[in-house]
């Protein structure tokens, strides 16, 4: 290309460049990542929903209402839930582990979240946004960064081990 290219030459060069395969971009961006988005609604104010998810004593009651967890005796092992950002949690007999990234009372919970059977050091991101909805609360929930192929299993787990027992506890 000349030292001072014309606009037409720049346009042609840019057009040709956009047609060339971008090998590095394909290697850097995942097109197979899975995510979960759920929006359960509860008949309790955001502060009560937040407390049930972040206070060990209350979450133990939620766990007891999960049929699958109680049948596996995991609900008998009390949950450990730190009350500050950066603190750790261990739920369902140590099957779910993680660390709080952000805790904003009655508004938001963000966690580095994993199951005990994932490879060491592998964490996903679970984000609970608590939104007032009438007299209740809608959780806008997003879970990303988990191993490929786990979406269906995890989505069912959130419903069966979190949302349904939480609704029962809060009713």
Residue pLDDT, tens place only, 21-58: 444 444 566 666 789 999 999 999 999 999 999 999 99
Residue 69 in this model has a pLDDT that exceeds 70: no
What average pLDDT is seen over the chain?
85
Cα–Cα separations (whole angstroms), residue 84 to 50, 53, 88, 122: 13, 13, 9, 22
Query: Which of 128, 130, 111, 120 lies closest to 48, judged by CA?
Result: 130
Element at 142 (helix H, strand E)? strand 136-144
pLDDT for residue 19: 45
The label of the residue with tokens 């269906």 reads 152
24's tokens? 């590095």
Report whether pLDDT(103) > 60.
Answer: yes
- Domain boundaries along the sequence of the chain: 31-170
Question: Are the CB atoms for 120 and 141 separated by under 8 Å?
Answer: no
| CATH (one of 1.10.3470.10, 1.20.120.1200, 3.30.530.20, 3.40.190.10) for 31-170 | 3.30.530.20
């Amino acid at each position: 290309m000349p030292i001072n290219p014309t606009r037409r030459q720049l346009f042609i060069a840019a057009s040709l460049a956009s047609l060339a395969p971008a090998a590095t971009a394909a290697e850097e961006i995942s097109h197979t990542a899975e995510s979960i988005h759920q929006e359960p609604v509860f008949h309790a104010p955001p502060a009560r929903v937040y407390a049930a998810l972040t206070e060990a004593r209350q979450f133990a009651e939620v766990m007891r209402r999960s049929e699958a967890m109680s049948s596996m005796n995991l609900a008998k092992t009390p949950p450990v839930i730190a009350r500050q950002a950066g603190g750790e949690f261990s739920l369902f007999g140590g099957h779910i582990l993680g660390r709080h990234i952000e805790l904003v009372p009655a508004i938001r919970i963000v966690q580095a979240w994993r199951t005990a059977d994932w490879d060491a050091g592998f964490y996903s991101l679970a984000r609970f946004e608590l939104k007032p909805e009438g007299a209740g609360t809608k959780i806008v929930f997003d879970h990303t960064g988990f191993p490929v192929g786990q979406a269906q299993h995890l989505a069912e787990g959130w419903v069966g081990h979190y949302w349904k027992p939480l609704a029962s506890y809060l009713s």
